[in-house]
Amino acid sequence: MKKGHNEQERELDTEDQARHDAPQTPLLCIFVSLLFASAVLLTAPRESSAMISSRYLGDVSVSLEGAKRTKPLYVESLVKYCLEKGDYRTWDSIDLASLGQCIKNTKLFESVEVAATRPEIKVTVSDRWTLIPIPSAYASDGKRSIGAFLFDSNFLGIGKTVGAGGSVSTEGSTFSLMYFDPWVRFTDITMNAMASRSSTELDAYHRTSTLYAYDKKELGFHVSPGYRMTPLITGSVSLNYTKKQFSQIETFSYPADYACWGVGARLSYANSDYKLFYNDGFSGSISWSRQVRRTDDLNNIESTTARFEWDHLLFGTHALQLGLQASSQSSDVGIGDVATYGRGKGFRGIQPSGLWARQLAAGSVDYQIPIAHWGHGTVTIAPFVDYGTYKPFFEGTGNNYTAYGVGAYYFINLINLPGVGLAVGNNDDFMGVFATLSIGMSFN
């Protein structure tokens, strides 16, 4: 797997020239233009009539009170969606609490109250602050990351999400732009777009020993339109572009640079209610992707991923959280494309991107116990267990792992901000005894 010194120098010279000539900036400019055009053309609010049409209830007048940022037109579209989801066929059958919870599932409101008197539905909300700089921090076993993300999950007051940010870490740096529209022009069409650029060191581990490593620079973007087929099921397709450049670490060989186009499809199901520190109910998704054109001579890679989550309230306010995720790649996947895993539920006690595997199934069990509650948030402690089984990329390095421990978390209610968490546990197959501190969102 190792290369001669002269051969490596020739390859590095060729790669340096390729990187100098690579037109990276125009790709980001194209994406920013697409993002701006989408925001202006697809999300521009239209005049509201304050009247919606329900299949069974007929014409419904919707009034909004208490909102400081959210536009009435957006709440009207939410009411229409929630009436359809609840399948309310008469005014007497409307469950006001469930209707309010459905609106609150957007995570944009601190509180929601609904009153219904034919032919009017009155919605009173208290907006969460959604335009915020979200910190990103992670520290564990000598790996550290810090960054920020400027994030608005209620862009223009109509529920669109835009964001830009990045991070620097002991492994490299990342930068990304994102745009998500769950209701394109208040229809059942969705749109998701993202562009990113990163420079990271990837290390494969067996316990605490490094099996393999290389530096990777990656530039890419994807656009994914979708359609809400039912109130619970959404399908989408995607088009993506990725450019990867690799360089050597120590004496390990490294893959050749390449760029590729790919396509994909996703089917998701969501039937859960947002409850600040858990989501009551079941959700899941299945995704498929395939490279369709590569600039090198290797085979196109195909991947399938499935994720499922089920949260259920037990013993008053205690919440049991179960998670399962599985993925599979083409059997001939190369070292520059193999999937990497680490951090997060199902992979606790694994170094960031420290597990490289062609096939994997990982489960997690968390038991959230609230120990303090204020108007601005909730503190919980949560024992956890993770278990994973996988087909290793490097033979003879193990095929399963178990992690267990306890976490402490703070979930904030006043603003739409990911929480703060500290987890302490043990994973004998990777980090051993570990302590992980995380703040805000992850960029991995």
CA distance 387 to 203: 21
Neighbours of 246 (CB within 10 A): 21
Task: For residue 122, give Cα distances in angstroms to 254, 269, 326, 329, 391.
Answer: 62, 29, 43, 50, 55
3-state secondary structure of 201: strand
Lowest mean pLDDT, pick from 161-165, 327-331, 336-340: 161-165
- pLDDT at position 157 is 92
- pLDDT at position 204 is 92
Q: Nearest 5°: CA angle at 333, between 327 and 337?
A: 80
Model's pTM, two decimal places? 0.82
- Tokens at residue 429, please? 């197959």
The helix-helix angle for 96-104 and 72-86 (nearest 10°) equals 120
- pLDDT at position 377 is 87
**Residue range(s) in the chain whose domain bears CATH number 2.40.160.50:** 132-440
Lowest mean pLDDT, pick from 88-102, 200-214, 356-370: 200-214
pLDDT band for position 125 (50/70/90)? very high
Mean of the per-residue pLDDT values of the chain: 85
CA distance 319 to 21: 54
The larger pLDDT score, comparing residue 413 to residue 71, is at 71
The CATH homologous superfamily to which domain 51-127 belongs is membrane protein fhac (3.10.20.310)
pLDDT above 80 (res 4): no
- pLDDT at position 130 is 85
- 48-63 mean pLDDT: 84
pLDDT band for position 360 (50/70/90)? very high
- 43-67 mean pLDDT: 77
Options 1.20.1250.20, 2.40.160.50, 3.40.50.2000, 3.30.70.20; CATH of 132-440: 2.40.160.50
Task: For residue 52, give Cα distances in angstroms to 55, 77, 88, 120.
Answer: 10, 8, 14, 10
Lowest mean pLDDT, pick from 128-132, 289-293, 420-424, 433-437: 128-132
- pLDDT at position 199 is 87
**Residue range(s) in the chain whose domain bears CATH number 3.10.20.310:** 51-127
Report pLDDT digits (tens) over 194-203. 999 988 888 8
